[in-house]
Structure 1
Amino acid sequence: MKSMNRYALPLLAALALGGCTLAPDYRQPASPVPATLGEADGVADSVMLPGWRALFTDPHLRQLIDTALSNNRDLRLAMLDVAEARAQYRIEGADLLPSVSVNGDGTRQRVPADLNNSGESTVQSQYGVNVGIAAYELDLFGRIRSLKQSALESYLATEEARHSARITLVSEVANAYLTLMADRENLRISEETLGAQRESVDLVQGRFDLGLGSELDLRQAQVALETARANRARFQRRVAADRNALAVLVGAPLPALPGDDLDAPAVATLPEVPAGLPSAVLRQRPDIRQAEHALRAANANIGAARAAFFPRISLTASAGTASSELSGLFESGSKTWSFSPSVSLPIFSGGRNKANLDMAEVRRDRNVARYEQAIQTAFQEVADALAARDSLAEEERAQSALVDATARSLTLAEARYREGADDYLAVLDARRELLSARQQRVSVTLDKLNNRITLYRALGGGGAADQATLIGTLDTDTPAATTGNAPRS
């Protein structure tokens, strides 16, 4: 045991020194966007977004989102990426501790007479049992610790990517559902228009048979009828395509869906986003947190590249028992030990280490650019969604008034035609205007609801709670996870 102490104390001292790292201090890049999301001074530093169950009040839509979160293949791949990154982090962390193994071996060999000093052939035996450490690297300059920190940040980045994929999936399912509802309403409008055109053809045909109308009126009515039939076929095709797209997102056959109008409150109104909201709230978006974790990982890799310029010290040690007889393995005097330190000092590598360091620094700079780009994209998405919110509400009110006005115009045109005060062209024009106004109102309503979903996703989709859960989970695994920074000397 005294012999083991000869290298146990140096080993413990080396482990204590292993907290050093050559990675540069991490500094969060300055925000490349204006300080606020509006012209007024900031009045709040956060936005509390509801969970998606509170945002989407339609029970059928909730069911579809639940199914998608369980079955969608893209989300499943994102979850597997997280599991892989977590395993890689544990692999890198395991190198900070020595690998201890127990080995047992035995050898019996016959030595010929001409190779034996006694001139007689003999059979020799050797048995041994030992506990050892093989090629354990003392992390004096933080190479392994930097690699572990990089793996941790990569894991956190994949976790944020999963959150981002989840928010995106929820938004895409909602958008696809609303698009299906909009096209179903457009199909209903086209069927109503087709029925009205059939009645018009019957009316014009009767007037023509009585000599009260012209053949031109009849042909115009028939053209309008066939146009309405083609319009209905187009929306039938779009509804079928919408269902297929929604089924792919959900990852399962679609259940029976209701025939609710798009005007029903399928998407709740988001909490008011104040003017002048600080753009710093964009950092709650998972894609921005993902970009920052990737930047931290690249920063840690610089430490590993710097450590390659310094000596690497490895230890190989073992202690056990050996004997020429199996029964004598544990008898007095059979103890054995070995201690083999090694030092490797880089002298010439053809510029490899310098190139690796340059590459690590370039990758860090590239991740800085990606992080700034993610913030700029987020800023534009939120600003555009906020700018469109009020104008879409105003446009929807104006479009509803236009529908009422064109419906009244059609009623008057039909009355004048029946009284012979006007030709059928006025009826055709009024019906086309009404059809266009109704379809445009559906489009504006869809844009208004999609804008709520876009704003929800652009502000981070309420992902802050998920991040807190993530940190709490990692906190049970390693103290470094709570800060995202590698321990420094």
Structure 2
Amino acid sequence: MILRLSSFAFGDCLSPRLPVTACLALLLTACAAPSMPPTEAPVTPPAGWYAPVPHDGSLDQLGQWWGSLQDPLLVELIVAAESASGTLAQARSRIEQARATRVSAGAALGPSVDGAANASRGFSQQTLGVATIAQGTIQASWETDLFGGNRAARDAAQARFEGAQAQWHDARVSVAAETADRYFTLRSCGDTLAVMRDDAGSRSETSRLTTLSADAGFQSPANAELARASAAEASGRLTQQRAQCDTEVKTLVGLTDLPEPMLREKLMQAPTRIVTPFAVPEVPAQLLAQRPDIYALERDVAAASADVGTAEAARYPSLRLTGSIGSGLVRTQGVNTTSATWSIGPLELNVPLFDGGRRAADAAAARARYEEAVALYRVKVRDAVREVEQALVALQSSIDRSADAQAAADGYRAAFVAAEASYRGGLGSLIEMEDVRRTALAAQMNVVTLQRERISAWISLYRAMGGGWTRPTLPTQAGKSSQ
């Protein structure tokens, strides 16, 4: 039994003494309107969580981070990557699909009107002659939304449309972050290549001088071989690093769909120095609610809640009203006969009585999907908090280590210059100089790596904060009801 009827109401409906209209009224009033689970409220982290607002709390400024790096090529590459992104194209397609579904769901709330026309010519038994018969009909039908099933379906479609729009923005943030990350990886690769090129040149020159000194008898053959081995090692690393940079260029070509010669030319004209991004010591807690991926999951919860209402409404009676207007023409033996018809009805009441538990199972499945959407939403909120905190820790750590790393690199570089001068003056050992060289090289590489780490953390924070996206203002429930 699908209807939730009291025994009194159902027994009275079986009585022949009760009018049909009264029975219908009992059937409808005995059914309670289906209830929907609550939707999730927007994420609101604790008030003390990174409460101070950086950048004067300006989301617009947060959304223009790339410009702060003073690198027009980066902005150009991000725009090109957005145009070439298959992920964004897929997200746009999903928006159009969701928009069409929303229109279809909204149309179910109103009446539908269909027209039909036909004409025939032949022998008529009634007129005992050849007759031309033409007929046109307009039929209308309307299913009253007694228990809100159609309204719930419309609300679900609206929520999914809003979620699809947010997913498109999330895809844009991801594409921009990925492009920036690959671009700075390439720039960092170029900086590393420059360090290795200088190192390889220095070792090659040391090898040349040591070989000349050995040939003149001032150095041992072992020192000459050590110098040549060191130069060969540096040359091999340089070749490997050059190949890695070429690979990064091709990766960027794949992201932006720009011709490789054009991209290489633009890279040659890019700023030679990477501008260190500004520090972000704190993040306003309310920015978590500005992440498009969290908003999309929030709308998924709202859609799943509305789906429960649709499934529950299917367990209750439905009422459909139909009507038609028609006009006909019969022409025989030069005489025209016209007719017009109209009708209202029938008024159809469909009452689900027994379906083996199918509708109840559909409602239970809808509630399970709602619970799944809520769980995914809450997990994503926790992940968002973690991502922001990790990015802030990594960013602050890289900033704190920068001065020490640069001081170490300068100190080791000065020590190497002194050791090299001592060796070439015949007062130092080649082995000692090579040890100092390796230490100085490692310190220089650490500076480059630390700069790359800082920019990577900065990009991760940009992504974790939603890229400056602003959630739309949703209509109130009263506004929805009036639409």
Q: Alpha-carbon deviations, 1:306-365, whole Å to 9, x = none?
A: 10110122233211222333998895x534435222222111112111111111111111
Q: CA deviation at 1:263?
A: 4.2
Q: Does 1:289 align with 2:315?
A: no
Q: Which residue of 1 aligns with 2:139?
A: 132
Q: Which residue of 1 aligns with 2:74?
A: 61
Match of residue 207, structure 1, among 200, 213, 235: 213
Give 3-state SS (helix, strand or coil) of 1:310's partner. Answer: coil
Q: Which residue of 1 aligns with 2:400?
A: 394
Give 3-state SS (helix, strand or coil) of 1:193's partner. Answer: helix
Give 3-state SS (helix, strand or coil) of 1:347's partner. Answer: coil
What is the identity, as a one-letter code, of the residue corresponding to 1:392? S
Match of residue 182, structure 2, among 176, 182, 194: 176
Give 3-state SS (helix, strand or coil) of 2:156's partner. Answer: helix
Q: CA deviation at 1:235?
A: 1.0
Structure 2 CA distance for partners of 1:261 and 1:361, relative to 1, 3 Å: same
Q: Does 1:162 align with 2:168?
A: yes
- Flag structure 2 segments of 5+ consecutive residues without an equivalent: 1-31
Q: Alpha-carbon deviations, 1:131-176, whole Å to 9, x = none?
A: 2114x32211111111111111111111000000001111111111
Structure 2 CA distance for partners of 1:413 and 1:100, relative to 1, 3 Å: same
Q: Which residue of 1 aligns with 2:317?
A: 311
Match of residue 99, structure 1, among 88, 100, 112: 112
Describe how 1:2-401 pairs up with structure 2 within 5 A: 22-24=34-36, 26-28=38-40, 35-38=47-50, 42-44=51-53, 48=59, 49-108=62-121, 110=123, 126-134=133-141, 136-254=142-260, 255=263, 256=265, 257-258=267-268, 263-265=273-275, 268-269=277-278, 273=282, 277-278=284-285, 280-325=286-331, 331=338, 334-337=340-343, 339-401=345-407
Q: Which residue of 2 aligns with 1:8?
A: none
Q: Is the 8 A contact 2:37 2:308 kept in 1?
A: no
Give 3-state SS (helix, strand or coil) of 2:326's partner. Answer: strand
Q: Is the 8 A contact 2:82 2:172 kept in 1?
A: yes
Q: In structure 1, what is the Cα distance between the partners aligned to 2:352 and 2:238?
A: 76
What is the identity, as a one-letter code, of the residue corresponding to 1:133? A
Q: In structure 1, what is the Cα distance between the partners aligned to 2:477 and 2:70?
A: 37
Q: In structure 1, what is the Cα distance between the partners aligned to 2:477 and 2:93?
A: 22
TM-score (norm 2): 0.84
Q: Is the 8 A contact 2:330 2:337 kept in 1?
A: no
Q: In structure 2, what is the Cα distance between the partners aligned to 1:430 and 1:31?
A: 54
Give 3-state SS (helix, strand or coil) of 2:115's partner. Answer: strand
Q: In structure 2, what is the Cα distance between the partners aligned to 1:125 and 1:340?
A: 31
Q: CA deviation at 1:412?
A: 1.9
Give 3-state SS (helix, strand or coil) of 2:467's partner. Answer: coil
Q: What is the percentage of aligned positions where both structures have the same residue?
A: 26
Q: Is the 8 A contact 1:154 1:293 kept in 2?
A: yes
Q: Is the 8 A contact 2:63 2:469 kept in 1?
A: no
Q: Is the 8 A contact 1:396 1:444 kept in 2?
A: yes
Q: CA deviation at 1:52?
A: 4.3
Structure 2 CA distance for partners of 1:343 and 1:109, relative to 1, 3 Å: farther
Q: CA deviation at 1:215?
A: 1.8
Q: CA deviation at 1:78?
A: 1.2
What is the identity, as a one-letter code, of the residue corresponding to 2:282? V
Q: Which residue of 2 aligns with 1:454?
A: 460
Q: CA deviation at 1:122?
A: 5.9
